[in-house]
Each structure stands twice: as C-alpha cells, then as structure tokens.
Structure 1
Amino acid sequence: MASIGQIIFWSMIVLIFVMAGFIILLLAIAFSRSQSFVQSSDQSPVGNLGQDVVLNCKFNPKLITGMQTNDVSITWTKAGLTRPVYRYQNQAAQLQDQDPQFKGRTQLFPDAIAGGNASLLLQRVSMVDEGVYQCSVSASGASGSVSIHLWVAAYSSPTFSRSMTTLTAEAPRWFPKPNVTWTVYQGDVLNASTEFFNNSAGIFTVVSTLKLPAHTNETYTCVIENTLVVAVSQATLTGDSGLTASTDYSFNSATPSRRYLHLLLIAPLLYSYFLT
C-alpha cells in the first residue's frame, strides 16, 4: 500500500512530464515554423556592461529560390518596445522609426547578409538593454524568426600581484556582486580575505588576498563568479618574484528549455521531501 507521500510524489512526477510534453510540443511547432529558416547559435548571450555584444541570428539562403540581396528584409525588435531596434530593407538600413534607446549603437554586417548572417552588433551595452529580442527575416516567400534573451553583467579578469609570499587578485568590474574562491591544483579550498568596493554606478571592484603563504612553482586558482558569469583564473608563481596568469570565462545564462531540464533534475529531491 503506497503512502500518502509516495502518492503525492508520483502525482507530481506525472504532472511534470505532462507539462514537459506540452512544452516540447509547443517548441516543436515553433521550431518547425521558423527554426528551419532562421536560427541562433546563442539564444542567451551575456553582454559585458559598456562593451559591445553580437546577437547571433542566421538564416538559410539555400531555402530562398533565386535569392537576391535586395529581396532580404531583416527586422530586430525588443519585447516591451513599440519601435524596432533595427530594420534592414532594400539593401539599406531603415532607421526612421528606430527606438531612441538604440540610436547610433546598432548595425548589421552588410557584406555577410548574402551568406545568411542577420546578426546584430549592439554597442556600449547598458543595463536597460537586457531583455528578449526577436530577429525576423523574410525574402522571396521564405520567412522566419528567432528569439534571443540578452543578459547584461559586468565582468573582468583579475590582475594578480605578488609581494614576497602574499598573492592578491584584483578585478575592477563585477556586477552582480560575485563570490570568490581560491584553490590549489589538488582542489583544496584556501582561506582568503576578500573585499568589495562599489562605485556610484553599483559596479564592484574585487580585491582578494590569500591568507596562507604562496609558494614558488605552485599554481593557484581564483574563481570569481556571480549569477551570470564565472571567471576561472590560474596564477603560477615563478622565480623569486614573477608570476604568470590566465583567465577563462563561462556563462550561467540558460534558455527556458534548460531551466525546465533543471526542474526535471530536482524530481528526486521532491521524492525525498515528501517521504520525510
């Protein structure tokens, strides 16, 4: 005889998979209508505050019969705005009704349009640029669109300094406020003292110093991460006072389908919860 907790758990599992089937059906319909012609290799890019970002959008010119460049129409819009972000038609930008927020900050790659590139370059990214964009392409009877969710953060590689056996990492631009973790190559977590200084714009400078003595020929890993960006930096002490360092970035932004996958992955946790 199943317990009440087990009945509730399996009912929730059934509900989750019914919702999964419904979402997959909707995605399949949307993809069949547009993704075969228009698609994006990155639907959740993270723009670095104050720098440029490319919103990726590609279309398949092979699906256009007798394609001519002057047949291609490209329109970029943003959810919540009534005016377009960018419009391209008749081989030229049509910006008469462009939203003022994007004036002088957007452009396509005209030489690449014939090859199927409808990507948008957005310059000097600001926090208000964050949101859902749609790239729509039409040409000679073929049309389609794809949505891209732009996230905005501030991130920078740390600069390492060494004073005798003291190792410090300083990164001048982070938002949202990050966490900092130090490890050695074996994976052991090291104690460190970390301070955050934010400017009038709310951007954080991170200064983190190892509490333990740093040793020559040892490699130390400093991980600075917030909800959107992870910066993994490795610093190797060389000689009496030298060091070498490198930083790799990864991004935590996720498409709705990835978030839904996360929901499925926590199902075992629900099981444990309802049985306790």
Structure 2
Amino acid sequence: MTTVIIILAAVIALIIGFGISGKRSINVTALTSPGNIGQSGLLGCTFEPDIWMGSIVIRWAKVGVAGLVHEFRGGKDHLQEQDVVFQGRTAVFADQVIGGNASLELRDVQLSDAGTYRCSITTSRGSGAAVLRYQTGAFSIPRVHVQTSSSGDTLHCEAPRWFPQPTVHWTAYSNAGKCLPHAADTSYELNSENITVKVVSFLRNITANATYTCVIENGIAKATGNIKVTDFNITRETSLHMVNLNTESVSSSLPACHWMLLLPMCLLSL
C-alpha cells in the first residue's frame, strides 16, 4: 500500500509539473507602458530562457483581430498570418530572444492599437502566456519660460501633443513656503492630424523669489514643469511620467480534471 501511495504521488507530481504533452508550464510576464501616437511603442514580454533557439515560438495576438500581430519561431519572423493592420510595424528583438526577451516593438503607434494583447511562448521546456492591456494616446514634455513685457512678467507652459485632452493646473509658492495667489489662462489647439492638441497655459503677474509648477495630465501621462524665479536667475526642471503601467502574467497549466481522470487508470495499472 505504501508503494502504491508513493507511485501515485510521483505520477501526480509529474502530471502537474509537465502536463499531458510532457512539458511543464513556464513563467511568462508582460509589462507595458502607454503608446505615444505616431511614435514607436513597446509591449514588454519576458519568459524563462531556453538555450535552444530553434524550439522557441513567440506569438503575439490581439483580442478582436483575426490575424496575428507577430510570430517569431526557429530564430526567424514568420509573418504569413500577420493581420494587415500590423504589417510593416512590428519587430521582436531577435538577438535577445534566447535570453528570454519576447518584447514587441510597435512602430508608428495608432490610436486604434489600444486593446488587449496576448504574448504566447513555447519552448523545449514548456509553454506559457501573458496578457496585457495596451493604452494609446499622446503626451509630451512641457516647455516653461518667462516672457517679460511692460505690463509685467508672464510664465508660459507649452506642450506640443496631448490626447485625450488633458487638464492643466498650477501651484505657486514663495521661497518661504507660502502659497501664492495665481490665475492661469489655458487653451487647446488642434494639431494638423486632427487628433492631438497643443497645450498653452499662461500665468500672469509672477513675482521673484518663488517657485511655480505647471502640471499637465490625463489618464495616461502626467507632465510637470517647474520654474524657480529669483532676483538673479531662473532655473527650470521638467518631467514626464506614465500613470498607468500594468503587468499581468498567466502560465499555462494542466486543468485539474485531466489528472483526476488519469488517477483511476494509474490505479488499474498497479
């Protein structure tokens, strides 16, 4: 009886670890940041490395799209089944695949590229997949500067491309940390592609010995422009951060019902 229990435990371990096909599930992880319309984007995907390049198959698919986004196997691209909307716009990093990098470069990002993508990996060690949600929009770093005129100094905060239309808000503090009153005028001008907008915001009647911050943000990105004004000089600092990074991973596994059905067969063979 003890022998039977040991054998059954070993069988279950093998089935769970390797599956019906004799291969185990492998860890696949996807990470993405939003795509900037008109520029190149990255859909990140990594997997457990395999020394046999010929055994590695990478398939990228998108929910709602009939064809594949990209396929790479045997060390080469295989794009016969690639959907027309992705033709000429995708690439994997072939020299990094053997190290476990299945990330996809997506060139000339379109607004319609947003959606749910699946990165599926098969190697000699097993298979797995990861799902990610890809957002698209437009975002850019602002330029902040002071314009001097006879009516007083005006602070300008401009960013060339945003979508969806962002909100803009300012903060103003004296060097002593006191919140200063401020009133800004913000306008949005549609760019030539009729999707993105140019953002221009003015802050009038600024004073020396204070720090002003312009924040531009939507649901995808947040850009900040800081400008510190003193009696002697002006210093600037800008930054851009993505606000919606996401990561998901799913490893393929053997359904419980499969190995439960195998148990009676194992018992009968003992």
TM interval, short-chain normalised: 0.7 to 0.9
Equivalent residue of 1:113, what SS?
Answer: helix
Structure 2 residue corresponding to 1:184, chosen from 172, 177, 191: 172
Structure 2 residue corresponding to 1:194, chosen from 163, 186, 190: 186
- Measure how far apart 1:237 and its partner are: 2.9
Q: In 1, are the aligned partners of 2:144 and 2:225 still within 8 Å (CA)?
A: no
- Structure 1 or 2: larger helix share? 1
Q: In 2, are the aligned partners of 1:137 and 1:143 still within 8 Å (CA)?
A: yes
Counterpart position of 1:174: 162
- Measure how far apart 1:162 and its partner are: 1.2
Counterpart position of 1:59: 47
- Structure-1 separation of matches of 2:183 and 2:234: 22
Q: In 2, are the aligned partners of 1:70 and 1:89 still within 8 Å (CA)?
A: yes
Length, aligned pairs only: 216
Structure 2 residue corresponding to 1:244, chosen from 236, 242, 255: 236
- Measure how far apart 1:125 and its partner are: 0.4
Equivalent residue of 1:190, what SS?
Answer: coil
Letter in 2 for 1:88: F
Q: Kindly tell me: are residues 255 and 190 of structure 1, through their superposed partners in 2, closer, same or farther at Cα, counting changes over 3 Å?
A: farther
Structure 2 residue corresponding to 1:209, chosen from 190, 194, 202: 202
Q: In 2, are the aligned partners of 1:233 and 1:248 still within 8 Å (CA)?
A: no
- Name which one, 1 or 2, has greater alpha-carbon Rg: 2
Q: TM-score if structure 1 supplies the norm length?
A: 0.72
- Structure-2 separation of matches of 1:250 and 1:143: 31
- Structure-2 separation of matches of 1:142 and 1:198: 50
Instruction: Note the alpha carbon deviations across 1:74-99, whole angstroms, 9 max, x for none.
Output: 00000001110000011100011211
Structure 2 residue corresponding to 1:87, chosen from 59, 71, 93: 71
- Measure how far apart 1:240 and its partner are: 5.9
Which residues of structure 1 form unaligned runs of 5+?
1-32, 257-276
Q: Kindly tell me: are residues 90 and 214 of structure 1, through their superposed partners in 2, closer, same or farther at Cα, counting changes over 3 Å?
A: same
Q: Percent identity over the alignment?
A: 37
Structure 2 residue corresponding to 1:137, chosen from 98, 121, 124: 121
Counterpart position of 1:149: 133
Instruction: Note the alpha carbon deviations across 1:218-276, whole angstroms, 9 max, x for none.
Output: 221111011221112212235667442322323146679xxxxxxxxxxxxxxxxxxxx
Which structure carries more relative contact order (alpha carbon 8 Å, separation 6+)? 2
- Structure-1 separation of matches of 2:242 and 2:118: 24
Q: In 2, are the aligned partners of 1:228 and 1:252 still within 8 Å (CA)?
A: yes
Letter in 1 for 2:34: V
Q: TM-score if structure 2 supplies the norm length?
A: 0.73
Instruction: Note the alpha carbon deviations across 1:162-189, whole angstroms, 9 max, x for none.
Output: 1122101111101101110000244847
Which residues of structure 2 form unaligned runs of 5+?
1-23, 249-270
Counterpart position of 1:116: 100
Letter in 2 for 1:38: V
Counterpart position of 2:110: 126
Q: In 2, are the aligned partners of 1:134 and 1:146 still within 8 Å (CA)?
A: yes
Q: In 2, are the aligned partners of 1:224 and 1:232 still within 8 Å (CA)?
A: yes
Q: CA RMSD in A?
A: 2.3
- Structure-2 separation of matches of 1:134 and 1:240: 55
Letter in 2 for 1:176: P
The yes-or-no answer on 1:75 pairing with 2:65 is no
Q: Kindly tell me: are residues 239 and 47 of structure 1, through their superposed partners in 2, closer, same or farther at Cα, counting changes over 3 Å?
A: farther
The yes-or-no answer on 1:38 pairing with 2:31 is no
Equivalent residue of 1:75, what SS?
Answer: strand
Q: In 1, are the aligned partners of 2:157 and 2:225 still within 8 Å (CA)?
A: no
Equivalent residue of 1:57, what SS?
Answer: strand
Q: In 2, are the aligned partners of 1:230 and 1:252 still within 8 Å (CA)?
A: no
